[in-house]
Amino acid sequence: MRPLEKGADGVYVVGCREGDCHYNSGNFRAKARVEQTRKVLDALGIGGRRLEMFNLSSSDGPSFARYAREMHDRILELGPNPIRTALAKKKKPPPAELQAAVA
């Protein structure tokens, strides 16, 4: 929730493979939390799909890269987090002459 609140467009949580966790059920608990939070994000109009849980082992680099690409593509599809837009609006617009200079 925090990164999304700060304006991140997407967050993914990576846990151990199911059944293969040093903390036994830690990854299952995380999965349940992610599910719960996705519902809240949907209700808030931010979109639950901005949050995802992936499972992989620490030595599985290719999968990690694949998940990263998957999430990247998904974020492009979803567009910016409305919170980021809202945060930007909150900041004062730059002075007019500066805007002109940029243009």
Return the DSSP state at 18: T
How near is the Cβ of 89 to another protein at its closest, in Å? 6
The 65-84 site mask, x for binding another protein (CB under 8 A), equals -----------------xx-
**Distance between CA atoms of residues 82 and 86, nearest Å:** 6
The span from the first CA to the last CA of the chain, in angstroms, equals 36
**Span interacting with another protein, options 12-20, 28-36, 47-55, 95-103, rule CB under 8 A:** 28-36
Nearest to 18 by CA among 8, 28, 9, 10: 28
Where do contacts with another protein occur on this chain (CB under 8 A)? Answer: 1-2, 4-5, 25, 28-29, 32, 37, 40, 43-46, 82-83, 86-87, 89-90
